[in-house]
Amino acid sequence: MADQFQVNNIASPALPATASPAGATKTAPSLLSDYLPISILTDSYKATHFLQYPEAKQMVAYGEFRTGYENDATDTRLVWYGIRYIIEQYVMRQWTLKDIELADAFYSSHMAPTFSEFPYPREIFVKFIIENNGYMPVKIESLPEGSCIHAHVPVFQITSENEYAPLCTFLETLLVHSWYPATVATLSRRCKDIIAAGFEVSVEDGANNVLLASRLHDFGFRGCTGVEQSVLGGVAHLLNFTGTDTLSAAYYAQFAGIFASVMDSYDYQRALDTVVPSVAAKQVEKGGFWVLRPDSGIPEDAVVAGLRAAEAAFGADVNSKGYKVPRGVGVIQGDGICIHTIKAILDAVHAAGYSAASTAFGMGGGLLQKVNRDTMSFAVKLNNIVYADGTSVDKMKAPRDDHGKDSLPGVLAVKRVNGVPTVFPAEEVSEEDNMLQIVYNCGPVEGLQWETFDQLRERVEQEWGALPKTADVVAESLKKKRTEVGGRLRAM
């Protein structure tokens, strides 16, 4: 079954370099990410921030998820993942004067509705191209990838200084894209919790059974908007499970001793009644594992029908928990699967007397497409400015009629309190205790070693279960500051 798939030390997730055969001539067009100049990889209004921001010595902004998955107040845990890809593929790209030429041509007619010149920070860009070897002159701190945290804990923080201070939020648009892999990783992890609960009921060794890691298979590649999405979302899923059909995300996967049959091409029930018995004798003789795959109908009914046909043709054993396990055959349901249908199917499987180990799931659109930035309400907000005269002022968003969008004021740090990542004013946390680590500092960080994918998977496995489902993650001193700053802003 899907448990035969094993993932071998996948990178986290950095696309491998590709080499052309010796003497080959490159005729294919460049990748879209290579074609687009970095000067336009932002929102239009951010190109004008340099005109709106006050003169400053330093500006700081941070990113956070404001809610748990689908605004679940009973479980606000999430998995942080995906910042490395953005740093390596985009932020560490060196700007050139060619980027300025392309930006000049583009911005010269970008102003609507007259198609006239649109302002952008040309002089600042030229300055750091010449003086900073083309690297964007900002510092980015991030939580370690694979960290399990609660909503409202900052996942990254951006700092820009002196003449480059107005660039603080220019990269916000790109960095916000981290919402996607983190949301998929969190969704996948919550699905694993549901399946683990089913294993506790009906599978020997419960959630410690090695089959658990293979029970949710990624079927989402064909529904993705592009290859990049399939990689980011597909690898995020593999933090929690070992099964995937999205080869762009897991081309290291190995296959052995398993075959699967889509059963609904014409008449699913007829296939169960006639095809399964006819295959049974030959398959038992040759060995291997047969996966029945109903891909239409009511998912609960289709899975149970498949298990009954499997038992009738192959026989079944009763495990120590009193549930039946068909021999050498199982069912994978890949149609209509989402986080909500998984539990309904497992309940039906248990009610029919079968073990959850006999069933796996393939999730496509429900895993990689049916999420968005609002699924966990991701946002980036300015939190501190040091003005030109040296005055430091904490900033926050404080809507008068929507306190759910309140952000956190002041430069921030994250440290564990009784094992729970908690956000503090930066001055209260030592560098050694701060979980926000520098991953980019006006260029690549010398000596920075990203962890292997196996290490990230181990971190998720260890931290998720150890974290309480909800927690108060804002330090009292920061709450006081938020009340003071928010009150001041709302009184204006």
Task: Give percent of the chain with pLDDT exceeding 90.
Answer: 67
Residue 271 has pLDDT above 90, yes or no: no
Number of Cβ within 10 Å of residue 230's Cβ equals 22
Tell me 271's DSSP state: I
Per residue in 116-146, pLDDT (tens digit) is 889 999 999 999 999 999 999 999 999 999 9
Residue 313 has pLDDT above 50, yes or no: yes
- How much is the mean pLDDT over the chain? 86
Residues forming beta bridges with residue 243, ordered by sequence position: 217
Give the SS3 label for residue 329: strand
Give the SS3 label for residue 378: strand
Specify the pLDDT at position 329: 87
Question: What are the phi and psi torsion angles at 430 (to 5°)?
Answer: -70, 160
Tell me 22's DSSP state: T
Which pTM does this prediction carry? Answer: 0.88
Residue 22 pLDDT grade (very low, low, confident, very high; cuts 50, 70, 90):
very low
Q: Quick one: 445 exposed, middle or buried, by C-beta within 10 A (0-12, 13-18, 19+)? A: middle
What is the residue-wise DSSP string for 391-408? -EEE-----TT-GGG---
Residue 103 has pLDDT above 70, yes or no: yes
Task: Give percent of the chain with pLDDT exceeding 70.
Answer: 86
> In this structure, what token pair is assigned to residue 470?
């909800």
What is the residue-wise DSSP string for 63-131? EEE-SSGGG-TT--EEE---HHHHIIIIITPPP-HHHHHHHHHHHTT-BTTTTB-----HHHHHHHHHH
Number of Cβ within 10 Å of residue 286's Cβ equals 7
Non-local (6+) Cβ contacts of 115 within 8 A are 109
Distance (Å, whole) CA 44 – CA 173: 10
Distance from the Cα of residue 421 to its chain's centroid: 19
One-letter amino acid at 198 equals G
Of 17 and 202, the structure prediction assigns the larger pLDDT to 202
Specify the pLDDT at position 253: 38
Of 421 and 288, the structure prediction assigns the larger pLDDT to 421
| Average of per-residue pLDDT across 413-437 | 98
233-237, 286-290, 430-434 — most confident range: 430-434
Residue 394 pLDDT grade (very low, low, confident, very high; cuts 50, 70, 90):
very high
Residue 7 pLDDT grade (very low, low, confident, very high; cuts 50, 70, 90):
very low
The sign of the dihedral angle between the CA atoms of 263, 268, 273, 274 is negative
Q: Please give the biggest Cα pair distance in the chain.
A: 84
Specify the pLDDT at position 5: 33
| Average of per-residue pLDDT across 319-335 | 92
| Average of per-residue pLDDT across 246-255 | 60
Of 172 and 399, the structure prediction assigns the larger pLDDT to 172
395 in Cβ contact with 64 (< 8 Å): no
Of 43 and 36, the structure prediction assigns the larger pLDDT to 43
Specify the pLDDT at position 298: 87
Residues forming beta bridges with residue 56, ordered by sequence position: 387
Distance (Å, whole) CA 64 – CA 378: 6
Lowest average pLDDT, out of 187-196, 214-223, 281-290, 458-467, goes to 281-290
Tell me 6's DSSP state: B
One-letter amino acid at 305 equals A
Lowest average pLDDT, out of 11-25, 136-150, 271-285, goes to 11-25
DSSP-H helix ranges across 203-336? 227-237, 268-270, 276-286, 299-314
| Average of per-residue pLDDT across 74-99 | 94
Lowest average pLDDT, out of 4-18, 145-159, 215-229, 473-487, goes to 4-18
Question: What are the phi and psi torsion angles at 475 (to 5°)?
Answer: -60, 150
Specify the pLDDT at position 284: 53
CA distances from 335 to 197, 263, 268, 302, 406 (A): 22, 12, 14, 10, 39
Distance (Å, whole) CA 173 – CA 491: 30
Look-up: residue for tokens 């966990």?
376
Specify the pLDDT at position 18: 36
Residue 361 has pLDDT above 90, yes or no: yes
